Structure 1
């Protein structure tokens, strides 16, 4: 009987480059107060958002994914031919066939790539990063481009105060490749499938969420998952230089950071607050926050960075990475 040959991959992986993009149109809280019953103060107090970006009608999640993915490749110093797999995290596609990943790969110039979409809602980027790392380590891919891209304005009721003040449009991306020393820790993921009714598509058209229930779940259940990701990577809370949770709500972000500090995280741990000027961009929020923070000099190459995504499903995933 013949023995199958198995591919041999890298002993470790790391993020080689990151990139992001946002639409040009800035929408302030004052702008929203003109079309719904809300105020700037009400929005700031509840979710911490000051402004967000909305895509134009002719600007798609696919378009933004191409820009973010191309920037990540440039940041890594790679050409499209250096990448053989594209994973696109997205939960706002209006057309399930074809997927976004294949045309995005082609438009970037990555020909004949393995390409697929992944839907884990706001945890999508961390799911994609975990899959990408494992693909490279097992030898199924040499380098993988992971993109989170969402046009949430396509699936949000523009006058629904519970969602329209929160969600926005953007894309963020990272290139994953081989490394001699580990730069991406094990992914810790899971779902609370019994709670799917907290966030779903109402009438198959608009996002509905039970805001208070989601808030309670995220502020109590996500910090323990982040601690599990640290344990899986062999680290302690005090080792974390940067915390980048999904940018769902500034109050949730602050609550997660507070709980981690109670478990030993340092007072000088840098905490992402990209939501203030970007809104909740679902699967794009974590890579975009990392890109913005690095550009602003708030984080640096080599920083130990804890990522944790969570959202509809209720899905969650997290891992420790070394900032590129």
Structure 2
């Protein structure tokens, strides 16, 4: 007996992108009224000017549906063409039912693979990695990958170390097949986890998000740039080939530190670096696709650009890959 496999394809590529943010803007001056802080301190420490919080009507699923629908429209792909929906999130109010099945149903498709990924801020890159491998192996032809988070539901608004940083939003990408090697637009994923550091970012007994900011900062500024460089190498490229760097938007100083390490390793001076955290805050798994979509809208990222994505956060988990932007 011989088990038959679906014929593989050359690889995968991103076909479209979309994002959404809630309407309510929370400025640093708004937070001054609640905790001992000020605009200058927040900008100097994390680089954030404002962030968005969702209303009672905004949920992980509803925001994911919005971003996912925009990505499908951008890709010119019908929901009925999807073979799977992956939702990266760590902020569902309940673990069951998952976000992906609900999201697929609201987008207008059922009877396809639908599952959630919880690797926090690395979730979108994990999802893209899995989607790329599913498509390359022939398991799926079109996969919708969504990062959606409502972190405001898990914040202690009296905790200055977290309430100034985290925010809500969603971003999405449609991943499809590359029929020839020249069309391949999703490189190999490089991923891992530092499970010995799980306590540095966690949900405590009051269901509030806590983090040891300095410990996470030291880890991210020393360990993540080498992972990013490994992703470039895995794609058969050099740092000089990268047009756009899109790190997880955790902290502007971390973003700048990663960019500096890449330039020291040979990245070009004109490397464009995502700085979406300034007006979006840290949206965990949503931050990378949201940042790319915003960069496209501002003309800072263009179709055909080679982008390096690198996510990192609670777990402590990390993942990255090189992609070609649609």
Q: TM-score range by the shorter chain?
A: over 0.9
Q: Which residue of 1 aligns with 2:101?
A: 102
Structure 1 residues 213-249: Cα deviation after superposition (integer angstroms, max 9, x where no partner): 0000000100000000001001101111000000000
Q: Which residue of 1 aligns with 2:203?
A: 201
Structure 1 residues 272-293: Cα deviation after superposition (integer angstroms, max 9, x where no partner): 0000000000000000000000
Q: Which residue of 1 aligns with 2:187?
A: 185
SS at match of 1:252: helix
SS at match of 1:176: strand
RMSD of equivalent CA atoms? 0.7
Aligned equivalents of 1:312 and 1:111: distance in 2? Answer: 31
**Cα contact 1:126–1:317 (8 A) shared by 2:** yes
- 5 Å-filtered alignment, 1:106-255, equals 106-179=105-178, 180=180, 181-203=183-205, 205-255=207-257
Aligned equivalents of 2:254 and 2:52: distance in 1? Answer: 21
TM-superposed CA distance for 1:78, in Å, is 1.1
* TM-score where L is the length of structure 2: 0.98
- 5 Å-filtered alignment, 1:18-97, equals 18-97=17-96
Aligned equivalents of 2:250 and 2:15: distance in 1? Answer: 26
TM-superposed CA distance for 1:58, in Å, is 2.3
TM-superposed CA distance for 1:27, in Å, is 0.5
SS at match of 1:20: strand
SS at match of 1:62: helix
**Cα contact 1:84–1:110 (8 A) shared by 2:** no
TM-superposed CA distance for 1:93, in Å, is 1.0
Structure 1 residues 105-157: Cα deviation after superposition (integer angstroms, max 9, x where no partner): 01001221110000000000000000000001111111000000000001111
Aligned equivalents of 1:89 and 1:32: distance in 2? Answer: 28
Unpaired stretches in structure 2, ≥5 consecutive residues: none
TM-superposed CA distance for 1:10, in Å, is 1.8
Q: Which residue of 2 aligns with 1:281?
A: 283
Unpaired stretches in structure 1, ≥5 consecutive residues: none
TM-superposed CA distance for 1:259, in Å, is 0.7
* TM-score where L is the length of structure 1: 0.99
**Cα contact 1:21–1:172 (8 A) shared by 2:** yes
Corresponding pairs, count: 323
Q: 1:295 aligns with which of 297, 301, 309?
A: 297
**Cα contact 1:122–1:283 (8 A) shared by 2:** yes
Aligned equivalents of 1:93 and 1:52: distance in 2? Answer: 20
TM-superposed CA distance for 1:59, in Å, is 1.3
SS at match of 2:174: strand
TM-superposed CA distance for 1:204, in Å, is 5.5
- Greater CA deviation, 249-258 or 176-185? 176-185
Aligned equivalents of 1:159 and 1:59: distance in 2? Answer: 22
TM-superposed CA distance for 1:159, in Å, is 1.6
Q: Which residue of 2 aligns with 1:5?
A: 4
Aligned equivalents of 1:125 and 1:8: distance in 2? Answer: 26
